[in-house]
C-alpha cells in the first residue's frame, strides 16, 4: 500500500507541477481538508463522471489526480464472482472463488452481536483482498410477509433485533476500510411489483418498524454508504426520494456517506439531482437493453446532468455535495492509510462461517429427545431429500456466489459418521432443473419427467429398515422460492414434500425433518413429527455445521428471528388484505403490528414463535427483580433475573426482554423486544442476567407530534426465552 501511495504521489505531483504534496494525497491529513483540496482541483466533467458507473460494478476515479476508481461487490453473504466489464455474465476467472458465509437470516438467528462483528470483519477482509471498496450489503428490510423471495438476505421481523445485529456487522466490514452499503432504503418488503409499487404507510410504522435498523446502521454503525430501493414512497422512487434521502437520512440522521442507487433504480435526472442520490448504477435508459454496451454516458447523472449544469438549470454547489461524499468514501477506503491487503478464501474465514452457522441453526422441536443422534445405538441412517445434495450458494439473484467449496448436508453427515454407521441416501423428491445463473449463452436445460410418486415410494421403502430417518428439505433458490425478483406463491413446501414427510413419519416414527430455507413454511405434519430443525442457507460449511448439531457435537442455541405462522392468513400483511397491492399501490394496513406484534394483537398462536429455539439441555429461569419501582424520564431501571442450566450438557440461552405499556394514548403492541443477551452456561451453572431500561425503551413515535415520546404510567418488563414463552414479569412506573 505504501508503494502504491508513493507512486500516486509521484504521478500527481508531476502532473500538477506542485512543489509540495497536495493535501488530498496525504493519507494522514484530515479527511475534510483532503476533500476540499481534491474538489477544487476537479473539472466539471470530472465531477460529473464520478457520479455514475463506468462498468457494471465500478465507477471512475480521477486518473489525472491519482484518485482511484470505486469497485462494488454483491453481496451480503460473500464476494461475488467477477463479471465481464459491460455484461452481467461471469468473467470465468479462476481465482475468484470465495467463502460463502451463512445467509443473514442465519446470522440473525444467532442473536449474537459478537458473531455479527466477526461476520462483517471476515467478509470485509475478502472484499479488501479482491480490491472491492464497497460491499453491497447488509440488507435490513423487515420481514413483513413470509412470501417475500428475498427475506433470506435480511435480519428478520423485529426492528430491535435487526438494529442490534447490523451495527457490529457494519463496524466489522468497515474495519477493513471497505464501505458497508446498507440496503434497501426503504420499504422494500416484497419482490412482487418491487420496481414500481408505491408503498403507503403511516409515519408511525415507518419510524417504529421499517427505519430503526437503517438509523442504527447510520448513527451507531457509522455506515459509509446506503443503497436506495426500487419501490416508491410518497409517489417518488426511493433511489431519489426527497423525504427518505434528504429529509430523514441526510438531515435528521446527519448521514455523511454516499447514497448509491440500486441497479436500474434511477428514473429521472432532475429528481436524482434534487432528491438525494449521489451515485447511479445499472440504469437501462435511452434504448439501453441487455445487448446495449457502453451506455454509461447516457445515464441520468451523466450527459443529461452535465447539460443542465452548463445551461445553469442546476447549481454546481449541489453537484459539489455529491462529489464531496464520493471523495469521502474514497479517502475512507481506497486512499486510507490504514488499508490492509485483506485475505480471501482462507480456512479462518471458513471456520468463522461454520461457527456462525452452528450458532444460528434452530432446534424447533425435539419430542422424545430424538436428537442428538446416538451413534452407539444408531447403525442405519436414512437421508432423504434433494436439499441434502443441492448447492445452495448458487442462485437466488444478486446474492449468488461462486464458492471455493460447499459441504452439502449429506457430505457433512457422512464425514461425521464415518464407518460407525451405515448412511443411505435416496432423493425422495426433486425440483425442476434451472438454467445456470450469470453464465453467458446458458441454455434452458431439458426437463426430465419427475415421477414424484415413484421417488416417494422409494423413500418409504427405505425408511422401513432405518434406525432413524433424516429428511432434508425446505425451499431452494429457484424462481418463486427464496429468490430475488419474485415472491413465493404459497406458504406450503414445494415439490410435494408435505406428502413425502407425512408418509415417512407414518412409516418410521423416528424421523427428523431439517428445513433449509430463508423463510417460514407451513407444517401440516408438525404434530406427528418428533424432531424439526431450521438449518437456513449456511454457505460453505453448511453440511459440517448441520452434522455438528445433529450428532450433538454442538448444542443448538439458535432462536428464530421471525415468526412461523400456522397459516398464511395468520400473518398481518395477508389478513389485512393488502399484500401484494393492486400493482400500483400497496397500503400497509397492518401498520405497526408486524410479526409477533400482529399475533399478540389478534390472539393467534404461532406455529413457532419469534425468539423460539430449543437446546439439548434445560434452562431454569428464576424470578425477575428491579432496583426500583418508579423512574423519572432521565433515570434508568435495572432488571435482573437468574438463569441456571439444570441439564447435563453445557449450552447457551438467549434471554429476551420485552416491554409492555399498560396504558397509552395511542395503540401499542402487547409487547416489544427491547433487549436480549446470549449467555453460555456449563451444566449446573447459574448466571444473573441484567438489563437496563431507559426512556428510549419505553417510547413510541407520535404521528401528530412527529417525535418519539414516553408517556407517564405503568409498564411491565417481561423476560423469557421467546415471545411466547415468558418466564417472569415485573411492574414499574414511569413518572
Active site residues: 262
C-alpha to C-alpha distance for 207 and 213, rounded to whole angstroms: 10
CB within 8 Å of 376: residues ≥ 6 apart = none
CB within 8 Å of 312: residues ≥ 6 apart = none
Helix (H), strand (E) counts: the chain: 19, 27
Strands (DSSP E) contained in 535-593 are 585-587
C-alpha to C-alpha distance for 689 and 680, rounded to whole angstroms: 11
CA atoms within 13 A on the CB side of 521: 28
Yes or no: say if 228 and 277 are a contact pair by the CB < 8 Å rule.
yes
Following DSSP, what letter does each residue of 336-399 receive, concatenated? -TT------S-HHHHHHHHHHHHHH-EEEEEGGG--S--TTT--EEEEE-GGGT--SSS-SSTT
3-state secondary structure 653-672: EEEEEEEEECCCCCCCCCCE
Other CB atoms within 10 Å distance of the CB of residue 455: 20
97: which DSSP letter?
A: P
Other CB atoms within 10 Å distance of the CB of residue 444: 8
φ, ψ dihedrals at 617, nearest 5°: -120, -175
CB within 8 Å of 382: residues ≥ 6 apart = 424, 425, 426, 459, 462, 463, 465, 466, 468, 469, 470, 508
φ, ψ dihedrals at 217, nearest 5°: -60, -40
Strands (DSSP E) contained in 377-496 are 380-384, 422-426, 468-474
φ, ψ dihedrals at 581, nearest 5°: 90, 180
Max Cα–Cα distance, the chain, nearest Å:
85
Q: What length does the chain have?
A: 735
Yes or no: say if 668 and 649 are a contact pair by the CB < 8 Å rule.
no
Q: Is the bond preceding 372 in cis, omega lying within 30 degrees of 0?
A: yes
605: which DSSP letter?
A: -
Q: CA-CA distances (angstroms) from residue 690 to 490, 562, 674, 719?
A: 41, 24, 13, 11
Indicate the angle between helix axes 452-463 and 497-507, nearest 10 degrees: 20
Q: CA-CA distances (angstroms) from residue 293 to 87, 202, 252, 395, 397?
A: 8, 42, 40, 25, 22
Give which of 516, 492, 517 is closest to 502, Cα–Cα.
492
Rg (C-alpha) for the chain, rounded Å, is 26
Give which of 11, 156, 107, 124 is closest to 545, Cα–Cα.
107
Residue 271 is inside which H or E element, if any?
Answer: helix 269-274
Give which of 699, 651, 650, 653 is closest to 674, Cα–Cα.
699
Q: Is the bond preceding 237 in cis, omega lying within 30 degrees of 0?
A: no
DSSP alpha helices (H): ranges in 50-207? 104-110, 113-129, 159-174, 203-205
Yes or no: say if 272 and 266 are a contact pair by the CB < 8 Å rule.
yes
Calculate the CA 14 to chain-centre distance.
46
Beta bridge partners of 260: 227, 279
Ramachandran class of 29: left when φ > 0, alpha when ψ lies in -120 to 50, beta otherwise: beta
Amino acid at each position: 500500500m505504501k508503494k502504491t501511495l508513493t507512486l500516486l504521489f509521484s504521478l500527481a505531483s508531476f502532473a500538477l507541477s506542485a512543489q509540495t504534496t497536495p493535501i488530498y494525497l496525504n493519507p494522514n491529513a484530515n479527511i475534510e481538508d483532503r476533500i476540499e483540496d481534491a474538489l477544487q482541483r476537479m473539472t466539471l466533467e470530472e465531477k460529473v463522471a464520478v457520479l455514475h458507473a463506468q462498468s457494471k460494478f465500478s465507477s471512475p476515479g480521477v486518473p489525472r489526480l491519482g484518485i482511484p476508481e470505486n469497485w462494488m461487490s454483491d453481496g451480503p453473504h460473500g464476494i461475488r464472482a467477477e463479471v465481464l466489464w459491460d455484461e452481467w455474465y461471469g468473467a470465468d476467472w479462476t481465482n475468484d472463488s470465495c467463502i460463502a458465509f451463512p445467509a443473514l437470516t442465519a446470522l440473525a438467528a444467532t442473536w449474537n452481536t459478537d458473531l455479527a462483528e466477526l461476520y462483517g470483519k471476515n467478509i470485509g477482509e475478502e472484499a479488501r483482498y479482491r480490491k472491492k471498496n464497497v460491499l453491497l450489503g447488509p440488507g435490513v428490510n423487515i420481514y413483513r410477509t413470509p412470501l417475500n423471495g428475498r427475506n433470506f438476505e435480511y435480519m428478520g421481523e423485529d426492528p430491535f433485533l435487526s438494529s442490534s445485529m447490523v451495527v457490529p456487522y457494519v463496524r466489522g466490514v468497515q474495519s477493513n476500510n471497505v464501505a458497508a452499503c446498507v440496503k434497501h432504503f426503504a420499504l422494500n418488503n416484497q419482490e412482487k411489483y418491487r420496481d414500481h409499487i408505491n408503498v403507503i404507510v403511516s409515519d408511525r410504522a415507518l419510524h417504529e418498524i421499517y427505519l430503526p435498523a437503517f438509523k442504527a446502521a447510520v448513527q451507531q454503525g457509522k455506515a459509509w454508504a446506503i443503497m436506495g430501493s426500487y419501490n416508491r414512497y410518497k409517489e417518488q422512487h426511493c433511489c431519489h426520494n426527497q423525504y427518505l434521502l434528504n429529509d430523514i437520512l441526510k438531515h435528521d440522521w446527519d448521514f455523511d456517506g454516499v447514497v448509491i442507487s440500486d441497479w436500474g433504480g434511477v428514473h429521472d435526472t432532475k429528481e436524482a439531482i434534487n432528491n438525494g442520490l449521489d451515485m447511479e448504477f445499472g440504469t437501462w435508459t435511452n434504448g439501453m437493453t441487455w445487448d446495449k454496451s457502453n451506455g454509461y454516458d447516457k445515464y441520468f447523472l451523466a450527459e443529461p446532468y452535465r447539460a443542465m449544469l452548463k445551461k445553469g438549470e442546476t447549481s454546481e454547489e449541489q453537484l459539489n455535495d455529491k462529489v464531496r461524499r464520493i471523495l469521502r468514501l474514497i479517502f475512507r477506503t481506497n486512499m486510507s492509510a490504514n488499508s490492509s491487503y485483506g485475505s480471501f478464501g482462507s480456512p479462518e474465514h471458513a471456520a468463522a462461517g461454520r461457527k456462525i452457522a452452528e450458532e444460528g441453526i434452530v432446534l424447533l422441536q425435539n419430542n422424545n429427545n430424538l436428537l442428538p443422534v446416538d451413534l452407539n445405538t444408531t447403525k442405519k441412517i436414512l437421508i432423504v431429500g434433494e436439499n441434502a445434495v443441492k448447492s445452495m450458494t448458487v442462485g437466488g439473484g444478486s446474492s449468488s456466489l461462486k464458492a471455493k467449496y460447499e459441504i452439502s448436508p449429506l457430505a457433512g453427515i457422512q464425514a461425521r459418521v464415518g464407518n460407525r454407521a451405515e448412511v443411505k441416501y435416496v432423493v425422495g423428491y426433486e425440483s425442476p432443473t434451472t438454467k445456470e445463473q450469470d453464465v453467458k449463452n446458458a441454455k434452458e436445460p431439458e426437463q426430465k419427467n419427475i415421477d414424484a410418486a415413484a421417488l416417494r415410494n422409494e423413500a418409504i421403502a427405505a425408511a422401513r429398515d432405518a434406525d432413524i430417518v433424516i429428511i432434508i428439505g425446505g425451499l431452494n433458490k429457484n424462481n418463486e422460492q427464496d429468490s430475488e425478483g419474485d415472491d413465493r406463491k404459497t406458504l406450503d413446501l414445494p415439490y410435494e414434500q408435505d406428502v413425502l414427510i407425512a408418509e415417512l413419519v407414518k412409516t418410521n416414527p423416528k424421523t427428523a425433518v431439517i428445513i433449509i430455507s430463508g423463510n417460514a413454511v407451513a407444517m401440516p405434519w408438525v404434530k406427528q413429527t418428533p424432531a424439526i430443525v431450521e438449518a437456513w442457507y449456511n454457505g460453505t460449511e453448511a453440511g459440517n455445521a448441520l452434522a455438528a448439531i445433529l450428532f450433538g457435537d454442538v448444542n443448538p442455541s439458535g432462536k428464530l428471528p421471525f415468526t412461523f405462522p400456522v397459516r398464511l392468513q395468520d400473518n398481518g400483511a395477508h389478513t389485512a388484505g393488502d399484500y401484494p397491492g393492486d400493482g400500483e399501490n400497496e397500503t400497509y394496513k397492518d401498520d405497526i403490528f408486524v410479526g409477533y406484534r400482529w399475533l399478540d394483537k389478534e390472539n393467534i398462536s404461532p406455529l413457532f414463535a419469534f425468539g423460539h429455539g430449543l437446546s439439548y439441555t434445560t434452562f431454569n429461569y428464576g424470578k425477575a427483580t428491579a432496583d426500583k419501582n418508579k423512574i423519572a424520564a432521565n433515570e434508568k431501571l435495572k432488571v435482573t433475573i437468574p438463569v441456571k442450566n439444570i441439564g447435563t450438557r453445557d449450552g447457551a440461552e438467549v434471554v429476551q426482554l420485552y416491554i409492555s405499556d399498560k396504558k397509552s394514548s395511542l395503540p401499542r403492541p402487547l409487547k416489544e423486544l427491547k433487549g436480549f443477551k446470549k449467555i453460555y452456561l456449563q451444566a449446573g451453572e447459574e448466571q444473573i442476567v441484567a438489563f437496563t431500561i431507559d426512556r428510549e425503551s419505553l417510547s413510541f413515535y407520535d404521528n401528530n407530534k412527529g417525535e418519539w415520546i414516553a408517556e407517564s404510567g405503568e409498564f411491565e418488563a417481561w423476560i423469557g426465552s421467546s415471545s411466547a414463552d415468558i418466564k417472569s414479569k415485573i411492574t414499574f412506573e414511569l413518572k
